[in-house]
Amino acid sequence: MPDLPAVTDLAAFLTASPTPYHAVAEAVRRLRAAGFTEQGETEPWQRAAGGRFLVRDGTLVAWWQRDRAGAPLRIFAAHTDSPTLKLKPHPDTGAAGWRQVAVEVYGGALWNSWLDRDLGLAGRLARFDGSTALVDVHRPLLRVPQLAIHLDRGVNQGLKLDPQQHLVPVWGLGDPWAGEVVEFVATEAGVDPTDVAAHDLVLHDLTPPAPLGLAQDLFAAPRLDNLVSVHAGLTALIGSRDSDTVPVLVAFDHEEVGSASATGAAGPLLETVLTRLAGGYDVRDAVFAGSRALSVDVTHATHPNYLGNHEPGHRVLPNGGPALKVNANQRYATDAPGAAAWARACRDAGVPSQVFVSRNTVPCGSTVGPIIATRLGIRTVDVGPGTPRGGRDGLSRRPAVSRSASSSADLRRAPPAGVTDAGGREGCACRRRSSTTPARPLTPTPGCSARSR
């Protein structure tokens, strides 16, 4: 898409990222190309100025190291995971002449959106020696078939799915045999099946990202929740040159399941890195007090078919700009001083902004924002591009990827622009496009998932 290179780049990032591990690998590739170097967790801390990154499984922390400690931190926080169907440790199963794959629901997936879709398989294999190998089987491999309407005449009055029984994909005919799935995946990855000790494998939708709409002003894609934010923060970090602060990007795994893990926001990883960046425990309190965090996760734009599910006085509209997320019960971390800093950032950058508040009868979800604020005591603001998300994730309009509020002294850089989501695919990113410009198909992208946040 020559008129909006950022959208083409976002599509490429989504395509390369069917799992959190792949998203981190793609981010690392881009960081290395920009001159960033890896900081190993078990290695001595690198003090020289320059770009650094640290990887733990599906979580990435990246930053610009300054030549002196004590500068305030500007943190851009997002997450790499999306709701999905994850393979069970012993996945080989079947019934009635069908070979199937046993799965477990990960996160708050909208189950019916996984039915009757071509699904690929991706993730990582762990060898007995402790090493891992990434794998992405990016071709139609599995499908979760829905029961024909002839056998369920009342389905249109309410579809009821039992995840144990009804979400088991088929992938062949005949009788299953133990070890078949792992042997197949190991062969695809070029790994000796006898070396595989364990696996983290998930299904992903093979529907490619593509332009959408009469004027081609929408863009549909999987996993916009929340890789659109990861992509924005990554691009902003690479382009940041603010020497007065330390810009930090953190992309957590396990946000969709509560963040309580060694790689989630509730774990110690971010605190450990930020303490080192601040100069140690003895001085970090002052640095943290002058620091700010931006928790960036997609927001519910107003769904045109379900207006009654939205707060009427705080409707998030397509192309209305990113939304400030507010909740009286601290499901979002935004407070009045933080909201003022956000308003100042948007004003200075010339970016319109909106405010999202949940309807009293429709409780909102949460993000990594309150966890960061609780663990670190750093003032945190929750924001997000708006997506009227349906079955998979969303629609987004003109997602900004070149600038971020994470890298300035007062949240003064531009925030990611608005995203709106609607319909049965995981994501749609709205973008401006000339009606005379012909549509061009994008590179196929894997994956699909959904979550109400």
Q: Give the CB-side neighbour count of residue 160, counting CA atoms within 13 A.
A: 4
Cα separation, 289 vs 307, in Å, equals: 40
pLDDT of 346 strictly over 90: yes
Residue 429 has pLDDT above 80, yes or no: no
**122-150 confidence digits (pLDDT tens):** 999 999 999 999 999 999 999 999 999 99
Q: How many angstroms separate the first and last alpha carbons of the chain?
A: 30
pLDDT tens for residues 245-258? 999 999 999 999 99
Size (the chain), residues: 453
| Cα separation, 4 vs 308, whole angstroms | 34
Q: What is the pLDDT of residue 322?
A: 95
Query: According to CATH, where is 3.40.630.10 located in the chain?
Result: 5-82+209-430
Residue 31 has pLDDT above 90, yes or no: yes
pLDDT at position 67, please? 83
Domain boundaries 5-82+209-430, CATH class: alpha beta
What is the arithmetic mean of pLDDT over 246-271? 97
127 token code pair: 């060898």
| Average of per-residue pLDDT across 86-112 | 97
For the chain, what is the mean pLDDT? Answer: 86
DSSP state for residue 431 in the 8-state scheme:
-
CA 206 to chain centre: 17
Architecture label for domain 84-205: Roll (2.30)
Q: What pLDDT digit, counting tens, does each position of 289-302 carry?
A: 999 999 999 999 99
CATH 2.30.250.10 domain extents, the chain: 84-205
- Reported as a single tens digit per residue, the pLDDT across 157-178 is 999 999 999 999 999 999 999 9
pLDDT digits (tens, 9 = 90+) for 38-88: 999 999 999 899 999 999 999 999 999 988 888 999 999 999 999 999 999
Q: What percent of the chain has pLDDT over 70?
A: 85
Considering only CA atoms, give the Rg of the chain: 22
pLDDT category at 386 given cuts 50, 70, 90 is confident
pLDDT band at 443 (very low <50, low <70, confident <90, very high): very low
Q: Which residues pair with 251 in a beta bridge?
A: 60, 78
Read off the pLDDT band of 389 (50, 70, 90): low
- The model's confidence at residue 387, banded by pLDDT at 50, 70 and 90, is low
Angle formed by the axes of helices 20-33 and 224-239, nearest 10°: 20
CB-based contacts of 290: which residues, under 8 Å, 6+ apart?
A: 72
